[in-house]
Amino acid sequence: MGLFTSLLSKLSGSQEHNPILITEVLSWIDAQGGMEALLQQMKLFGFGKILQSWLSNQQNLPISPQQVFSFIKAPALQQLADRCGIDVNATAALLAKYLPLLVNGLSHSGELTPSATTDLVKAGLSVLGRKS
């Protein structure tokens, strides 16, 4: 995707399958301690049932942007927003959209696959590429 296309998608609010934003999200998750650390935060804040649906073969339960705000601290969300060039509310919505898809695609038999911890960016882009 070219710079012009990326800018247009940001301006139009369309973030669907934007590889630049997805790469930023995945890199940010790595910088926060990785997918496992993020999932632990979800469990700690009472989102175990939602998380379990993502890890299992069940239908993914949704998570709202407001729920994302409850288990990810505001400074961390702001850091991701700055990296993506979008506001913090759009960032929470982006995570609410992609976390279920990522966790579901990066798990097998209720556990994260090794690729989720060894090369999250590559594995995550591959998962979301299959969801196109």
Rounded to two decimals, what is the model's pTM?
Answer: 0.82
Question: What are the structure tokens assigned to 74, written together?
Answer: 């505001």
Q: Strands 111-112 and 107-108: what pairing?
A: antiparallel
Task: List all residues 6 or more positions away from 64 whose beta carbon is below 8 Å from its beta carbon.
Answer: 96
| Tens-digit pLDDT profile for residues 33-88 | 999 999 999 999 999 999 999 999 889 999 999 999 999 999 999 999 999 999 99
